[in-house]
Amino acid sequence: MRVLYFYQYFTTPKGCWSTRAYEFARRWVEAGDTVTVVTSVYDKSDLKPRGLVSRFEVDGITVIVLNVRLSNKHGKLVRLFTFAAYSVLASWYALVLPADVVLASSGPITVGLPALIARYLRRRPLVFEVRDLWPEGAIQLGLLRNGAAIGLARWLERRCYHAARRVVALSTGMQEWIQARHAGIHVDVVPNAADNEQANEAIPIDLPCWAQGKSLAVYAGTLGLIDDCGQILECARVLKQTGVGDIEIAIIGDGRERSMLQARAIEWDLSNVHFVGLIPKQDVMRWLKAATCALFVTKDVPFLATASPNKVFDALAAGVPLVQTTQGWIRELLEREECGITVPPGDAVAMADAVVRVARDGALRARLSCNARRVAQTQFDRSRLAQTMRSILCDAAGVA
């Protein structure tokens, strides 16, 4: 089966971003498929193109990199321009590359342009993947306000859903949202996955001097608009004010909010917070395996309750309890499987209490950790989910 994959954020474990596309695609190649990914240049990727277009062979995957630079640090207008530029350039490959099935992964919703060109002009069967609710997220965050632009984005979203033979969402929350607003659309769920093989092989880091002999809470992800990392600093402030001196917080990652967060940490004299910066994804697991708990925070915006963030699945794979703030399907999962603690968004005191409980209650921590590993292996294993996605592609392509 020949798979043509439009995805704007491709990276490998040597980069500092989600490897879902890479991990799925390399498994499809091992199963005998031909996979071509058309991507752009994310500042957290390890791919370094030269010229307008570069071609790489990555573990059997053909990766065409359009030299359109993306960064979470860019402003709204620059990001909209880069989304549009990618969609226009990628449309050429929708016309000329052979494929038995096309997989387009959104957001942004502009990836729908090459997807629709492949579907209607080349008659390629389309599978449309929803990683985030676009344009709904941009609208709720106030990034998309113009009525005409919103109307166009919603039209493109509808066209993608109706043009696709199969629609795939990354969470049950996304599935429910799409089906409630688009009558007659069947949506499969293939969530992000736990890298159990990587977790089994990873050796915990040698803790830096500031963490030796102490408990370690780790946040690993983007420091951007939707990530409420300010709540982590508020949590650290509560810990310091209440005399908790045996817990350190490591913030791994980068983003537009980083400089502001670092300035606030200095202003509040938060010696218990440490900004590690960007590190390869393969090293994130080593930090998590040395941690007492992992942190996941977002702004209190409705669409984020449907999110399927990699950091959650990395924590499960590492067997580290999760302390998080979303109030949707992740909260339900943690409560049902007893593998983490959910606290109210914006409640730094509740977060600090949860971090302390996990650090100091060995029995609780052991139970949450054991359950996290079980859930990672039984519900979110990467190889099993890659096969599920491949079955969807085969069905769309009419391949046995």
Give me the sign of the Cα torsion angle 311, 254, 41, 149. positive
| 244: confidence class by pLDDT, cuts 50, 70, 90 | very high
Residue 329 has pLDDT above 90, yes or no: yes
Q: Which amino acid is at 367?
A: R
| 75: confidence class by pLDDT, cuts 50, 70, 90 | confident
399 versus 70: the higher-pLDDT residue is 399
Mean pLDDT, residues 108-118: 95
- The CA distance from 321 to 337, in Å, is 11
Mean pLDDT score across all residues of the chain? 93
**Whats the size of the chain, residue-wise?**
400
Q: Before 344, cis peptide (omega within 30)?
A: no
- The CA distance from 80 to 87, in Å, is 11
Mean pLDDT, residues 355-382: 97
Tokens standing for residue 382: 């990467």
Query: According to the model, what pLDDT value does residue 170 have?
Result: 96
Query: According to the model, what pLDDT value does residue 282 have?
Result: 83
Residue 96 has pLDDT above 80, yes or no: yes
Give the chain's domains with CATH numbers: 2-193+381-397 (3.40.50.2000), 196-379 (3.40.50.2000)
Tell me the angle at which helices 112-120 and 147-163 cross, rounded to the nearest 10 degrees.
40
114-164 confidence digits (pLDDT tens): 999 999 999 999 999 999 998 888 888 888 888 888 999 899 999 999 999
| 73: confidence class by pLDDT, cuts 50, 70, 90 | confident
The pTM for the full model equals 0.92
